Structure 1
Amino acid sequence: MAVINEDMIRKVFDEMVKHRPALQKHLIADDEDDEVADYRVLGDLIIKNYPWPIGVELRRLFSASMRQLDRMRLDQIFKTIERTMQFTSFVMLSQLWKEKVKGNIEIPESFAKDFSGRFLVLSMGNFTWMIRAIGNIFNEKNTEWFIPEIKENFDKNFYNALDFWVPERNEIGHYQINLTQEEIEKRCVEYEEKLTFILQRISFFAKYKLVSVREIKVIKPKNQQAMFHHVIDLLNSSDSDFKAQELNEPNYAESRSVLLMKNIKSIEDYLNLSPLIIDTNSEILDNKEKFDIKKDIFLYTKFRSDLLMYVGTEVTEKCDLRTLSNYQILLAEFKDMMKTLTGVEVS
């Protein structure tokens, strides 16, 4: 009988290998006495190969403290699926914004109207709506995805699988009903299977790298072409001690942004996820007003009274990020996105 998480890990890893064949070597057991690779090793690889906002939730779900079929595990399954939907919807939304700016796509009036009402306060229901609505726009307009795998994986079955979670989250995740221990155990098993299906469908993220642009410097020798020196942090990791990498090339990205890249060796092809996803790790706390800032990867969650609100991936308490040195830039970018997609200014 498989232990907690093992079945999920093996199924998700098998799908991940299809998109990143280099992982195949890890399926070979290190010990000659073992017929299959240790699922805990595969679990760690899954965490590292999903983008950090998803990987960190799986790290919690796979931890020793979550190996009982109890309320804590049930809540973490909800947290994992919600963060997965949030990240995925932000990737799709970022490309929609980019294509609209480039004049490659027209935003349906019905989407603009619904989006302007839904996006100011996010919920799981809004994430599922965005994924389906943006997917339909791209399909109807026959627009090419930055991530081509979305087209083949986000079908009717996938959308229906997402829809399952919204009423469950509203009722059980928000403690609107009391569950017996028996009911909790059954739901843990059922929800793990449904989460596995979603993770299998988005396993293509293993092909891409999530990075944070920490610094960009211009290097211009005399009589030579200018080069841009990028210092980036790789946000694919099993812990928040992100590995840094340096790139020198004639192309350049946006400063202090979070990017989804097809090739870690070149800045040429990427999708900018800011201001929806931001990294505060490079912020220097050089005055007392900044002491409330926590260093983390944050995801947008709400806009109210001209204030952007974010939720952390490791930080659990609420953080006021208005003292960030680039906060006004983030705010301007957010307003530009809303105006571009809805035609209406927000404040």
Structure 2
Amino acid sequence: MSNQSNIQGNQNIVLQGVTDSTITVEVNGAPRELERQLEPLLALLEELKTQQLQLEGRLYNIDSITANSFDFLVEQLRNGQELPAELAENLITEDNIWVNSLAQEFIRQGVSVGNKPQRIFEHYGWLIEVFLLKMNSPAGRGPTLRRLSFMAEAYQSSLRYLCFIQLAQLLPQIKEGLQPSIAAFLKSEEGAHVEYDYLNLLLLATEQLQGRENFMPEIEELVEDLADPETELYQTAIFLARQRDALLQGKIKEDAQLGALLDQYLTGLVYWLRRIAFLAKYRLVSIKDINLNYRLGTAKHFIHRYGELHGVYAEIQSEGEDYSSYSVQDTFTYNQSVLLLKDRSVEACLKNLQNEANYLSISPLLIDQSVLAEKAKQTPEIFYYTGQARKGSKYFYALYKNELALNGERKNSNKQLTVQQTNITQPKLDELFDQLQQLFKPAKGASQ
């Protein structure tokens, strides 16, 4: 993998320690001290004829480290084991408090919220909402590793979502060339998404968007704080990431110490979720299809059938009303795509489709599998992009609500989707394959 992988052997450079002026690296078991700058590290890599280094159990391609992200990465060596002091002194220990805390943040930002947890969680959209619901379920309330896994995935999924928003703005310019690590992300190996460092990818994608009008400017402000190791946000984000890594590696046990860690993780997660509450100002929808209504003497009306990716569909599922319809005169948008709308009102945004700055296509990073499968009475079924086989012969997706498989267990409820040139049982995936081939093939900078 070009971004990270499980480490085997000691043939790579291992970042071991950091001070204000130096970094300590281990080269085949022997420590070496370098000036704390990117250039000496690059020179060492060139001397050893290697492109990779290990940090906190992950293998990074040197292309994934820029001058701006260097400090962000090396500072992780002295962060991540504990919450920032102020948060640690104000732990959330009761289930109802964390839900109310999220509600209060939305109210502070002028967003209307209901009094039920699901009406609060829905403002984040399905990708995050689903794990908040799991946290608030009977299975997610006990002092168990499963509860921790739900919280860890709420964090990971939120990072992935923010990354996809940034990457979606870069894909139309893919022929102009992408930062190498971003291009390499598109060519990630199957299964790499479980441990992928989306935090670093978020910084790199936001860096490449500098100088352009960002669809979601709030992310720029967030990343500015994330990139500063002195901020509470940075320290919290690293803590959440490191504890998730420890969970995946089986280092956290279901013992008497777990309760304290659960309180710490919940406190950090709520702080993070409050910082990304700006997501409530946007709406994620799946455009199922667009039909033209046009007759002699009439204007052109494009009927957009869409499903909102916020809230629980169980209330209407029995009636089969899984998609809504809205007529737009003379204008249409991307068909069979997942769109992010710059408005809390879907109708208000669809009414102004002529202004392309009001919406962003997140597809094909996010897809609605139910649209491609055309199953009757099916609600949207969202899958996210995870990588591809060598030379783009296959592309891989995972269901948005897949859970972490801990200690080698098999999660039968988890779903994966493989898109290849010929998809016998789902022929509409052939069209998605063609789109991916056309869109991703020109990516420059990624290793083949």
State the TM-score, normalized to the length of structure 2.
0.63
1:273 counterpart (356, 362, 373) = 362
Match of 1:151 in 2: 220
Identity of aligned residues (%): 21
Q: SS at the partner of 2:272?
A: helix
Distance in 1 between residues matched to 2:189 and 2:294, nearest whole Å: 42
Structure 1 residue 171 corresponds to structure 2 residue 250: no
User: Is the contact made by 2:99 and 2:117 (CA closer than 8 Å) also made in structure 1?
Assistant: yes
RMSD: 3.1
Matches within 5 A, 1:39-50: 41-50=115-124
The verdict on how the C-alpha distance between 1:345 and 1:181 changes in structure 2, with shifts beyond 3 A counting, is closer
User: Is the contact made by 2:131 and 2:150 (CA closer than 8 Å) also made in structure 1?
Assistant: yes
Match of 1:8 in 2: 98
Distance in 2 between residues matched to 1:5 and 1:336, nearest whole Å: 47
User: Is the contact made by 1:8 and 1:196 (CA closer than 8 Å) also made in structure 2?
Assistant: yes
The verdict on how the C-alpha distance between 1:245 and 1:56 changes in structure 2, with shifts beyond 3 A counting, is same
Distance in 1 between residues matched to 2:107 and 2:437, nearest whole Å: 39
Residue range with higher mean Cα deviation, 319-328 or 65-74:
319-328
Q: SS at the partner of 2:193?
A: coil
The Cα shift of 1:76 comes to 1.3
Residue range with higher mean Cα deviation, 237-246 or 142-151:
237-246
Distance in 2 between residues matched to 1:300 and 1:173, nearest whole Å: 21
User: Is the contact made by 2:92 and 2:264 (CA closer than 8 Å) also made in structure 1?
Assistant: no
User: Is the contact made by 2:144 and 2:254 (CA closer than 8 Å) also made in structure 1?
Assistant: no
Matches within 5 A, 1:56-135: 56-98=130-172, 100=173, 107=177, 109-112=179-182, 114-115=184-185, 118=188, 121-135=192-206
Q: SS at the partner of 2:197?
A: helix
Q: Which has the higher helix share?
A: 1
Distance in 2 between residues matched to 1:201 and 1:301, nearest whole Å: 26
1:311 counterpart (398, 401, 425) = 398
Deviations 1:190-235 (A, max 9, x none): 1111111221111111111111111210111224432211010111
The verdict on how the C-alpha distance between 1:42 and 1:317 changes in structure 2, with shifts beyond 3 A counting, is closer
Structure 1 residue 244 corresponds to structure 2 residue 323: yes
The verdict on how the C-alpha distance between 1:201 and 1:335 changes in structure 2, with shifts beyond 3 A counting, is farther
Q: Unaligned 5+ residue runs, structure 2?
A: 1-90, 403-412
Aligned length: 317
Structure 1 residue 331 corresponds to structure 2 residue 433: yes
The Cα shift of 1:341 comes to 4.2
Match of 2:38 in 1: none
Distance in 2 between residues matched to 1:112 and 1:298, nearest whole Å: 20
Look at both structures and tell me which one has the larger radius of gyration over its CA atoms.
Answer: 2
State the TM-score, normalized to the length of structure 1.
0.80
Q: SS at the partner of 1:182?
A: coil
User: Is the contact made by 1:112 and 1:342 (CA closer than 8 Å) also made in structure 2?
Assistant: no
User: Is the contact made by 1:48 and 1:237 (CA closer than 8 Å) also made in structure 2?
Assistant: yes
User: Is the contact made by 2:162 and 2:219 (CA closer than 8 Å) also made in structure 1?
Assistant: no
Distance in 2 between residues matched to 1:65 and 1:56, nearest whole Å: 13
Distance in 1 between residues matched to 2:382 and 2:429, nearest whole Å: 15
Structure 1 residue 299 corresponds to structure 2 residue 384: yes
Q: Unaligned 5+ residue runs, structure 1?
A: 27-40, 287-292
Structure 1 residue 17 corresponds to structure 2 residue 107: yes
Distance in 1 between residues matched to 2:103 and 2:326, nearest whole Å: 30
Distance in 2 between residues matched to 1:108 and 1:308, nearest whole Å: 19
The Cα shift of 1:160 comes to 4.7
Residue range with higher mean Cα deviation, 321-330 or 250-259:
321-330
